[in-house]
Structure 1
Amino acid sequence: MTHYRIHPIVMGTKQFDMGMMTYQHGYGRSTTIPIYCWYLEGGDQVVIVDTGEMHPVQSEDREQAIGGRIYTFEAGLARHNLNPERIDKVIHTHLHNDHCENDFKCTNAEIFVHPQEMKHIHNPHPLDFRYVPDYLEEVEQNGQIRLVEVDAEIVDGIRVMHTPAHTEGGLTVLVETTAGTAAITGFCVINENFFPPKQIRAMEMEVIPPGTHVNAYEAYDIMVKVKEVADILLPLHEPCFADGRPIP
């Protein structure tokens, strides 16, 4: 089996109330979270997870808040001697705009996404304004979209698991590494969601569901399942990976 090193690359940030990340917890506390593209190094194809923002805010205060540099898509890939045209496969955790704004630059890539995400990007519910069809229009017209409806292997050592916690078509990406299976979560959380503070654990809660979710009960159960199958947890917006150090 192929083993990979995972390179987190910050390609954007968001500033908002912590309650957007941690359901029923942390309201009134401001936070800054990174938006990642993950480069999976190791196979004979160039594979990334998500593509980040097209025009990220690059400021000293935001970089200090997350503890790492913020890159444009091209500059972030260049750190690994890559460019958008060299990408063979893009795997999407989901299609909220901050995870797919640079897809159109990956002109030679197959783009893997759950059918429910395509459904919602074309007909989003008014509550879910984060779906913006413009960012997928070009790659869809070019026939680059590959629908993944069930848990499946994308390439040797990389597979996806349907985890509809944050969105109905969320895909958690399971990556084999020398230190075990790493899970890039298909839902927007940080470490605190998987490892709650003492006062939350005292309420007999193992995890905290995402602040934005499809169904809070199901999201909780999905998180527990991901926690059980992964040796390494990579919450989708956890700042501790913003320094860009490879995993493992």
Structure 2
Amino acid sequence: MKMHILSGGKLRMNRGVYFPEAENGEKIDLPVNCVLFRHPAGNVLFDTGCHPSVVEDPEGRWGKMARAMWPIMDANDNLIAELARLQLTPDDIDVVINSHYHSDHCGCNEFFKKATFFVHEDEFAKVSEPDSIKFGYIPEDWKHPMSLNTINNQTDIFGDDRIVLLPLPGHTAGMTGAIANLDKSGSFLLASDAVSVRENLDRETIPKTTWNADVLMDSLNEIKRVEKSGATVICGHDPDQWLQLKKGIEFYD
């Protein structure tokens, strides 16, 4: 199995969301991670990044939320363009895993019309509430007719211990990571926004974009446990880690 780390866009946010000591108005530029697995049983995506339309009209897609996370990528910096560089189209994707339903993680869902989707049942319950848009859940991102599997516990996608979904709630009610076990490169924990930036894990600091701080702390402890077992933690948006990762046509195997 090969693992490609792909760009789902880039955002500018207030640094104080993640770093309590940040100056008022200080900004931080954050990569948006998506991951492609080339598994013998099919192509699997973990998250789909930002919708391409936010480059030209972020408020048209995101509304007021665009004032809190402003897209700073160009028209070629999105998951669909990244897949094309690997000579893949959305129809080549068999499975899509949504770590959660925030717009920078499921924005391109609509393109994967032949895929089967996985999301935690608590996440789906939250977006199904009548007022979910007030909490950053945009129907255009997640409300599509494709096949959907909801999970409520650790789930092995293909039953071979290669891609195992791991609930890590706290950032959202149904936040889910994935443990990928590769033959040569070892194990990786895709933490998504359970650990947006590495410093939150190391210092046990809770970002302002947190649904439940106590629940998130439990998830951070679980992530530390998995890391101690030998897994490499891939953060959802860490700019320093992003520079060190193999990306695009390069891969881990």
TM-score range, shorter chain: 0.7 to 0.9
**Which aligned pairs between 1:62-211 and structure 2 lie closer than 5 A?**
62=72, 71-123=77-129, 129-139=135-145, 142=146, 144-155=147-158, 156=160, 157-177=162-182, 178-188=184-194, 189-196=196-203, 207-211=204-208
Structure 1 residue 218 displacement after superposition: 2.6
Moved >4 Å (runs of 4+):
124-128
Structure 1 residue 226 displacement after superposition: 0.8
CA contact (8 A) 1:14 1:34 kept: yes
Structure 1 residue 18 displacement after superposition: 1.6
Correspondence 1:26 to 2:22: yes
CA–CA distance in structure 2, aligned partners of residues 111 and 133 of structure 1: 15
Q: What is the TM-score when the length of structure 2 is the normalising length? A: 0.79
Residues 241 and 107 from structure 1, CA distance in 2 versus in 1: closer, same or farther, beyond 3 angstroms?
same
CA–CA distance in structure 2, aligned partners of residues 69 and 195 of structure 1: 34
Q: What is the TM-score when the length of structure 1 is the normalising length? A: 0.80
CA–CA distance in structure 2, aligned partners of residues 98 and 124 of structure 1: 21
CA–CA distance in structure 2, aligned partners of residues 25 and 145 of structure 1: 41
Residues 96 and 108 from structure 1, CA distance in 2 versus in 1: closer, same or farther, beyond 3 angstroms?
same
CA contact (8 A) 1:210 1:219 kept: no
* Aligned match of 2:242: 241
CA contact (8 A) 2:192 2:234 kept: no
Structure 1 residue 99 displacement after superposition: 1.1
Q: One-letter code of the match for 1:162?
A: P
Q: Deviations over 1:35-84 (max 9, x none)?
A: 122112343310010111112539xx956xxxx99623321101222110
CA contact (8 A) 2:100 2:176 kept: yes
Structure 1 residue 33 displacement after superposition: 0.6
CA contact (8 A) 1:94 1:117 kept: yes
Higher helix share: 2
CA contact (8 A) 1:8 1:241 kept: no
CA–CA distance in structure 2, aligned partners of residues 194 and 96 of structure 1: 21
Residues 237 and 124 from structure 1, CA distance in 2 versus in 1: closer, same or farther, beyond 3 angstroms?
farther
Q: What's the C-alpha RMSD, in Å, of the aligned pairs?
A: 2.6
SS at match of 2:170: coil
Q: One-letter code of the match for 1:8?
A: I
Structure 1 residue 128 displacement after superposition: 5.0
Correspondence 1:41 to 2:38: yes
CA contact (8 A) 2:192 2:237 kept: no
Q: Between Structure 1 and Structure 2, how many residues are aligned?
A: 225
CA contact (8 A) 1:11 1:70 kept: no
Residues 124 and 187 from structure 1, CA distance in 2 versus in 1: closer, same or farther, beyond 3 angstroms?
farther
Residues 101 and 16 from structure 1, CA distance in 2 versus in 1: closer, same or farther, beyond 3 angstroms?
same
